[in-house]
C-alpha cells in the first residue's frame, strides 16, 4: 500500500526529475522482487501438494464399519493416507467396504474390497450347488464337503435318503444338520435325525447336510479352522492363502450325537459368536490354549500328536483352490452385470473366510465360505459378573493385522508403492549414512517405526510381550544391517581407531544395496502365499471348463449387464454354434429352453424372464449328453464347448475375436483355459513362437476329429510360418472383454 501511495503521490506532485525517477525505479524493483518471491513460494506449495496427492496411497475407510480398527492400524503403519469420511470425488486407491460391493455405487475407479454378488455366491445354497456341479463332473476330486440337500425343494429326496439309511440300519444312526441358506454365526442351525423334524419357518430356504460326527478332537473338544484367502483378481485369476488363521473350539467336550445331546449347540457347533456366551469359554491368552487359538498352534499340536501337519495344510490349500475355481464362473457372470464392458468401474479383490473341519483321519472338510469374515480385533471379557468389556484380543490381532496389512500391500497401485518405497528408502538411507558416520549407530527411523505399532496395542501385559517382540525384530534387522556392514570378521564397532572406522564406512552403493535387501526381505515375509497361478495352476486347469461355459453364456446374453439369457439369445446360441448341424431343430431348442426355464424357476423369485447361468449350464450338459456323447460327462461337455467355440471362430472370421486368449508365463508360452476361445492344452504346450494363428485354428478343428498324438506333432512340425507376434496378441487381449484385469 505504502509503495503504491508513494507511486501515486509521485505522479501528482512534480518533483525534481532525478529524485522522482530513482524513487520510482527502486519502488518498481522492490515490488517486482516481492512478487517474484510470492510466486516462487506459491509454486513450491503447489508442487508439494501435487506431489502428495499424486503419490499418496489413499484408502477410503468410510464404509469399513467393524473392519475399521484393524484397517486404520495397517494404514497408519504403512504410512498410507486414510479418508475416514471418504473423498468428495470418490477417487481413492482402495475403497474398503464392510459388507457389499454395492455399498457405494458412485465408485468408478480404484479397487473395492468386495466382488459384486459375492454374498449371494457364498450363500450356502449357491456355494454347494456350484460344488455339486463340479462333483458331478469330477466325482473323486470334489469329495471334500458333506452331502447336501436343498430344502424345501429337495425335501422328498432328503426324506427318501433318511428312510433308506434307516432300512440299511446304518451305524451310528445318521444325523443331519440343517442351516438357513443365508444364516451366519450359527443362527437357526439345528441337528435332526428324522425328516419330520424339519420345519421351514416363513418359507425360508435351508440346506441339510450329513453331520460329520467322526471329527478330530483336541483336549476332547471339537474345533474348526477359519482360513483367510485373498482373491486378488478374477481375470487373470490370482489368489493367496494366509498362512495364519484361527481355530475355534466348542465349549462342551464332544460326544457323538445321540437323541439326548443333539440339542447341545455348545458341543456340536464351534462358532465363536455362539460359544463366547458359554460359561465355559476359555479366554486364555496362550497360543495353544483356550477356546480360540491360532491355526499354526493347532497344526503344531497335530504334529506333536505324531501326524503329518504339512499334509493337512496341503489338503487345505487344494480345497481352497478347487472351491474358488468352482465359484469363478458365477462370479464372472455377476461381474459383467455389475460392470458391463465399456462402463468404467472399480476392479475388485476380496478377503474370504473358509470354515474347515478336520475329520478323525485328518481329512479337511469344507463347511462354508464367508464373504465378509469378521476382521474385528475385539473380544468380550467379563470384568465382573454380567458386566462385559471389549478388549483387543491378541490372537485376533496376531492373525488379522498382518492379513490386512499384506492385503493392502498387494492391492495398492504398484507404481505408487514403488515411489512410496523409494521415499522410505531415501529416509532410511539418510539416517543410515548419518549413523554409519557416527560410530555405526543403530538406525533410528526403524525404531520409531516399530515403536509406533507398540503404542497402538492395548493390553499392558501384552505390551510387554510385544515390546520384547519388537525389540527382537529390531535387533534382527540391525544384525542384518550390521552383518552386511562388516567386512570380513571385523565390525565397525570393533574398530577403535579413527582410521579403522574410516575404512569400515560403507559406500553409498553398499548402503543402497542394504536398504534394497531390507525391503526385499520385508516383502518376502508376507503372510500371504500365492496359490494360484504360482502353485496350483496346472493342477486346476482341467477344472476351469465351466468358465468357458460362462464365457458362452455372457457372449449370448444379448443385453449387456443382464444376468439371464432370453429365448432369442438361446436360439442365437444354438444357431451360431451350429447345433442344428448336430441334429437340433429350432423347435427342440425352444422346447428345451421352456423346460429348463421352468425347472430353474425357484432360482428366480422376482419372476423376471430368462434363464440363469446355472440353467444354461444344465442346457449345455443336456445338449452334450444328447449330441456329443463320450464316456464321461466332462469329455462330453468339453466336446460341446470346443465345438461351440470353433463354430464361433469360423463364423466371425475376425482374428481379433477368434484368437484364443494366450498368456505368457515363465519362459514359454502357455495357454490358460477359462477364456471363451479355448485350445487343446496338448497343442498349446507344443506351441512355439513360429506357430501361426491359422495353425492354432486348424489344430482346434482337428481336435474335434480326435487326432492322434502323431497327427498333432507332424502338424506342428510342418508349421513354420512366423506370423505370431506377442505384441499383437497383447493388443488383441486388451481389446477382448476383460471383466477384472489387474
Ligand atoms: P454359520 O454360517 O451359521 O456359521 P456353518 O456352516 O459355519 O454355519 O456351521 C456352524 C457350525 O456348525 C460349524 O462351525 C461347525 O462346527 C458345525 N457344522 C456345520 N456343518 C457341519 C457338518 N456338516 N458336520 C459337522 N459339523 C458341522
Residue 207 has what pLDDT? Answer: 94
SS (H, E, C) 311-343: HHHHHHHHHHHHHHHHHHHHHHHHHHHHCCCCC
pLDDT tens-digit series, residues 409-435: 999 988 888 777 777 777 777 777 777
User: How many Cα atoms occupy the beta-carbon half-sphere of 410 within 13 Å?
Assistant: 28
Q: Which of 172, 207, 271 to mutate to test the pocket of ligand 1 (most atoms within 8 A of CB)?
A: 271
The phi, psi pair for 157, rounded to 5°, reads -60, -40
d(CA 109, CA 346): 4
Give distance in angstroms: CA of 100 to centre of ligand 1: 23
Cβ atoms 317, 98 nearer than 8 A: no
Query: Which residue from 65, 75, 150 is spatially nearest to 104, judged by alpha carbons?
Result: 65
Give pairs for 72-81: CB < 8 Å, separation 24+: 73/401, 73/453, 73/456, 74/401, 74/404, 74/405, 74/408, 75/408, 76/452, 76/456, 77/405, 77/449, 77/452, 77/453, 78/405, 78/408, 78/409, 79/420, 79/424, 80/56, 80/408, 80/412, 81/56, 81/57
d(CA 227, CA 312): 13
* Closest ligand 1 atom number to CA of residue 180: 3
The closest residue, in CA terms, to atom 23 on ligand 1 is: 211
Give me the mean pLDDT over the 686-712 stretch.
Answer: 59
d(CA 20, CA 42): 33
The closest residue, in CA terms, to atom 15 on ligand 1 is: 269
Q: Which of 143, 212, 269 to mutate to test the pocket of ligand 1 (most atoms within 8 A of CB)?
A: 269
Q: Is residue 81 predicted with pLDDT exceeding 80?
A: yes
d(CA 670, CA 662): 7
pLDDT tens-digit series, residues 313-363: 999 999 999 999 999 999 999 988 887 766 677 889 999 999 999 999 999
Residue 572: all three cell numbers together = 442365437
d(CA 566, CA 548): 19
Give distance in angstroms: CA of 348 to centre of ligand 1: 28
Give distance in angstroms: CA of 184 to centre of ligand 1: 10
d(CA 541, CA 619): 23
Highest mean pLDDT among 21-25, 44-48, 419-423, 553-557: 553-557
Cβ atoms 206, 178 nearer than 8 A: yes
Residue 694 has what pLDDT? Answer: 64
Residue 715 has what pLDDT? Answer: 54
d(CA 144, CA 314): 13
Which helix or strand (DSSP H or E) is residue 62 part of? Answer: strand 58-63
Q: Which of 185, 250, 367, 372 to mutate to test the pocket of ligand 1 (most atoms within 8 A of CB)?
A: 367
Residue 293: all three cell numbers together = 487359538
Q: Is residue 492 predicted with pLDDT exceeding 50?
A: no
Ligand 1, CB within 6 Å, residue ranges: 146, 177, 179, 183-187, 189, 209, 211-212, 224, 269-271, 355, 357, 367-368
Which helix or strand (DSSP H or E) is residue 268 part of? Answer: helix 265-268
Give distance in angstroms: CA of 210 to centre of ligand 1: 11
Give me the mean pLDDT over the 56-71 stretch.
Answer: 90
Q: Which of 144, 179, 276 to mutate to test the pocket of ligand 1 (most atoms within 8 A of CB)?
A: 179
Beta-bridge partner residues of 532: 239
Give distance in angstroms: CA of 197 to centre of ligand 1: 18
Residue 135 has what pLDDT? Answer: 96
pLDDT tens-digit series, residues 557-568: 877 678 899 999
pLDDT tens-digit series, residues 196-235: 899 876 678 899 999 999 999 999 999 999 999 999 999 8
d(CA 393, CA 380): 9
Residue with cell 470346443: 642
Give distance in angstroms: CA of 653 to centre of ligand 1: 52
Least reliable range by pLDDT among 294-303, 383-392, 404-413, 432-441: 432-441
More confident residue, 526 or 311: 311
pLDDT tens-digit series, residues 351-374: 999 999 999 999 999 999 999 999
Residue 680 has what pLDDT? Answer: 52
Per-chain mean pLDDT for the chain = 77
Residue with cell 435325525: 193
d(CA 457, CA 137): 50
Q: Which of 128, 177, 213 to mutate to test the pocket of ligand 1 (most atoms within 8 A of CB)?
A: 177
d(CA 134, CA 435): 60
Cβ atoms 539, 321 nearer than 8 A: yes
Least reliable range by pLDDT among 291-305, 635-649, 719-733: 719-733
d(CA 721, CA 328): 37
* Closest ligand 1 atom number to CA of residue 271: 14
The closest residue, in CA terms, to atom 12 on ligand 1 is: 269
pLDDT tens-digit series, residues 443-471: 444 333 333 333 333 333 333 333 334 33
The H helix count followed by the E strand count for the chain is 27, 20
More confident residue, 288 or 355: 355
Amino acid at each position: 500500500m505504502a509503495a503504491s501511495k508513494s507511486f501515486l503521490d509521485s505522479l501528482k506532485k512534480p518533483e525534481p526529475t532525478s529524485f522522482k525517477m530513482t524513487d520510482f525505479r527502486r519502488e518498481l524493483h522492490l515490488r517486482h522482487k516481492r512478487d517474484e518471491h510470492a510466486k516462487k513460494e506459491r509454486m513450491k506449495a503447489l508442487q508439494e501438494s501435487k506431489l502428495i496427492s499424486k503419490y499418496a496411497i489413499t484408502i477410503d475407510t468410510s464404509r469399513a464399519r467393524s473392519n475399521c480398527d484393524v484397517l486404520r492400524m495397517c494404514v497408519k503403519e504403512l504410512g498410507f493416507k486414510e479418508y475416514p469420511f471418504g473423498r468428495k470425488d470418490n477417487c481413492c486407491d482402495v475403497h474398503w467396504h464392510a459388507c457389499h460391493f454395492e455399498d457405494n455405487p458412485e465408485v468408478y475407479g480404484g479397487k473395492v474390497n468386495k466382488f459384486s454378488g459375492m454374498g449371494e455366491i457364498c450363500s450356502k445354497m449357491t456355494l454347494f450347488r456350484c460344488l455339486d456341479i463340479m462333483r458331478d463332473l469330477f466325482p473323486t476330486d470334489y469329495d471334500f464337503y458333506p452331502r447336501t440337500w436343498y430344502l424345501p425343494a429337495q425335501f422328498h429326496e432328503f426324506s427318501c435318503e433318511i428312510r433308506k439309511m434307516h432300512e440299511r440300519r446304518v451305524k451310528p444312526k445318521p444325523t443331519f444338520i440343517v442351516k438357513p441358506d443365508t444364516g451366519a454365526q450359527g443362527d437357526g442351525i439345528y441337528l435332526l435325525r428324522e425328516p419330520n423334524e424339519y420345519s421351514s419357518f416363513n418359507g425360508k430356504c435351508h440346506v441339510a447336510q450329513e453331520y460329520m460326527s467322526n471329527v478330530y478332537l483336541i483336549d476332547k473338544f471339537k474345533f474348526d479352522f477359519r482360513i483367510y484367502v485373498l482373491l486378488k483378481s478374477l481375470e487373470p485369476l490370482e489368489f493367496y492363502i494366509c498362512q495364519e488363521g484361527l481355530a475355534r473350539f466348542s465349549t462342551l467336550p464332544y460326544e457323538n450325537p445321540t437323541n439326548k445331546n443333539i440339542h447341545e449347540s455348545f458341543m456340536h457347533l464351534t462358532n465363536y459368536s455362539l460359544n463366547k456366551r458359554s460359561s465355559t469359554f476359555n479366554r486364555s491368552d496362550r497360543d495353544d490354549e483356550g477356546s480360540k487359538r491360532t491355526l499354526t498352534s493347532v497344526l503344531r499340536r497335530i504334529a506333536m500328536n505324531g501326524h503329518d501337519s504339512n499334509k493337512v495344510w496341503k489338503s487345505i490349500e487344494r480345497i481352497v483352490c478347487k472351491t474358488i475355481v468352482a465359484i469363478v464362473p458365477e462370479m464372472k457372470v455377476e461381474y459383467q452385470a455389475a460392470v458391463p464392458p465399456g462402463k468404467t468401474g472399480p476392479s475388485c479383490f476380496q478377503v474370504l473366510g473358509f470354515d474347515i473341519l478336520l475329520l478323525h483321519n485328518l481329512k479337511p472338510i469344507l463347511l462354508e465360505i464367508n464373504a465378509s469374515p469378521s476382521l474385528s480385533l475385539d473380544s468380550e471379557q467379563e470384568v465382573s459378573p454380567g458386566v462385559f468389556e471389549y478388549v483387543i484380543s491378541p490372537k485376533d490381532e496376531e492373525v488379522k493385522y498382518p492379513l490386512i496389512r499384506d492385503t493392502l500391500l498387494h492391492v495398492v497401485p504398484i507404481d505408487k508403492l514403488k515411489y512410496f518405497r523409494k521415499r522410505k528408502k531415501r529416509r532410511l538411507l539418510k539416517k543410515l549414512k548419518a549413523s554409519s558416520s557416527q560410530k555405526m549407530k543403530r538406525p533410528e527411523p526403524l525404531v520409531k517405526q516399530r515403536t509406533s505399532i507398540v503404542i497402538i496395542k492395548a493390553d499392558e501385559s501384552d505390551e510387554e510381550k510385544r515390546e520384547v517382540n519388537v525389540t527382537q525384530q529390531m535387533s534382527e534387522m540391525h544384525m542384518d544391517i550390521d552383518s552386511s556392514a562388516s567386512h570380513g570378521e571385523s565390525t565397525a564397532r570393533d574398530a577403535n581407531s579413527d582410521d579403522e572406522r574410516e575404512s569400515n564406512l560403507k559406500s553409498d552403493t553398499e548402503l543402497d544395496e542394504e536398504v534394497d535387501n531390507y525391503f526385499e526381505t520385508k516383502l518376502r515375509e508376507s503372510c500371504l502365499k500365492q496359490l494360484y497361478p504360482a502353485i496350483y495352476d496346472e493342477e486346476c486347469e482341467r477344472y476351469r471348463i465351466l468358465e468357458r461355459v460362462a464365457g458362452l453364456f455372457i457372449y449370448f446374453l444379448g443385453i449387456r449387464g443382464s444376468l439371464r439369457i432370453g429365448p432369442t439369445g438361446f436360439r442365437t446360441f444354438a444357431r451360431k454354434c451350429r447345433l442344428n448341424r448336430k441334429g437340433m431343430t429350432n423347435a427342440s431348442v425352444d422346447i428345451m429352453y421352456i423346460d429348463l426355464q421352468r425347472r430353474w424357476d425357484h432360482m428366480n423369485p422376482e419372476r423376471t424372464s430368462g434363464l440363469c447361468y446355472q440353467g444354461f449350464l444344465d442346457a449345455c450338459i443336456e445338449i452334450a449328453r444328447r449330441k456329443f456323447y463320450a464316456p464321461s460327462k466332462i469329455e462330453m461337455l468339453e466336446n460341446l464347448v470346443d465345438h461351440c467355440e470353433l463354430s464361433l471362430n469360423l463364423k466371425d472370421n475376425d482374428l481379433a475375436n477368434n484368437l484364443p486368449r494366450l498368456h505368457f508365463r515363465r519362459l514359454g508360452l502357455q495357454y490358460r483355459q477359462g477364456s471363451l476361445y479355448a485350445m487343446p492344452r496338448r497343442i498349446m504346450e507344443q506351441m512355439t513362437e513360429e506357430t501361426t494363428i491359422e495353425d492354432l485354428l486348424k489344430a482346434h478343428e482337428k481336435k474335434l476329429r480326435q487326432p492322434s498324438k502323431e497327427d498333432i506333432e507332424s502338424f506342428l512340425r510342418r508349421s513354420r510360418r512366423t506370423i505370431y507376434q506377442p505384441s499383437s496378441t497383447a493388443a488383441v487381449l486388451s481389446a477382448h472383454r476383460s471383466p477384472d484385469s489387474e
